[in-house]
Amino acid sequence: MTAKARALPFVLLLLPIDLVVALVLLTSQIVGGIKRGLKPTTTTSIDRTLSTIIILNWDGRHLLEESLPAVVEAVRFNGGQHQIMVVDNGSTDGSADFVRTQFPQVRVLALDRNYGFTGGNNRGVEAAKTDVVILLNNDMIVDRNFLKPLLDGFYDSTVFAVTSQIFFADKTRRREETGKTRARFDRGFFELWHDEISSLEETRETIPVLWAGCGSCAIDRKKYQVIGGLDPLYHPFYVEDVDLSYQAWKRGWKCLLAPASRVVHKHRGTTRPKFGQDFVENTIRKNQFLFVWKNVTDTFMFLQHLANLPRIHARSIMQRGAVFEIRAYWRAVTQLPQTVMKRLSNRNQYVIADQEALARSSKA
């Protein structure tokens, strides 16, 4: 029996759920409507000389021991009065006390429990006072000159975020992350990836990207708050930074890569060890559905997604198995009501369509 034949019974099993999803989303598409002719929501000019560097941490004392000295050195090298803030997500490994003792110049925002990636970062941004906030993972080792290129990237009022170029500590490893993020909408689903950075692009101040990775990027705090921050819809992790940046693009703002700002991703974080590889991958799959359902308002793209749901399922089942796909899809379907509410509440804020957002974010 071929892989396609083995997938068919499970695709048929999911078909009634697909029809319900299609009915709900089609209704929201018809009811919602989009106000045309809106202008981008702008904010007053921002102070690029100051920033708050927010490092989210959960039981990562061993990571902070390595990453914090580099951040402190980068602030010293830049010379500005930047504030470093560790947002501790209810750690039980003594992380907060370690930072207070070893790095007294660093502010500690100790939360009472783990609020996840979205909740922890949102609380950090809310506590910040500067116009620019820089979000860093606790396993990012920053270059001493990583700050200036990020801050220089906010050259006009339409810039939402500026992200760093990412390297791996192991130079023999293929660079699956570069910071030059791209996307295509292929037969009803998004394909997301990091592209190679050419030698010519290395010399450019900024390059448009689809999303600014919230493990190493600077963000206009006021615009972040207008959008509502990272969306807890994607809790506990992944795709939330793609969503945030896509929301910015559709509001007429832009996300940029500053190649001269460099970080090394150690990839020794807490997500996979704490939650397990299968749960992480399943959550990413679940959130991919939610991203489409919340964000895509282009009628052709939208209908293409709904029509291709059986094919989307079949491909995943052949690659990862029926249990994986059914579990991820069902988890997404249980969040459909709140996803539709967010879809309806956001769409009148958009000033450009999906196709235009994808085109602008991929300009050379």
Write down the architecture of domain 51-273 according to CATH: Alpha-Beta Complex (3.90)
pLDDT of residue 33: 66
What are 195's two structure tokens?
């592209």
pLDDT, one tens digit per residue, over 130-173 is 999 999 999 999 999 999 999 999 999 999 999 999 998 877 77
276 — pLDDT class (breaks 50, 70, 90): confident
266 — pLDDT class (breaks 50, 70, 90): confident
How far, in Å, CA of 307 to CA of 15, rounded? Answer: 11
How far does CA 276 lie from the centroid of its chain? 20
Q: Are 60 and 139 in contact (CB under 8 A)?
A: yes
Rounding to the nearest 10 degrees, give the CA dihedral for residues 68, 73, 75, 81.
100
In the predicted model, what is the mean pLDDT of the chain? 93
Q: Which of 240, 239, 246, 248 is nearest to 220 (CA)?
A: 248
Q: Which of 107, 99, 52, 49 is nearest to 79 (CA)?
A: 49
- Please determine, for residue 94, whether its predicted confidence score (pLDDT) is greater than 80: yes
pLDDT, one tens digit per residue, over 280-295 is 999 999 999 999 999 9
Mean pLDDT (whole number) for 226-246: 96
Domain boundaries, the chain: 3-35+276-361, 51-273
* pTM, entire model: 0.94
- Please determine, for residue 37, whether its predicted confidence score (pLDDT) is greater than 60: no
pLDDT, one tens digit per residue, over 293-350 is 999 999 999 999 999 999 999 999 999 999 999 999 999 999 999 999 999 999 889 9
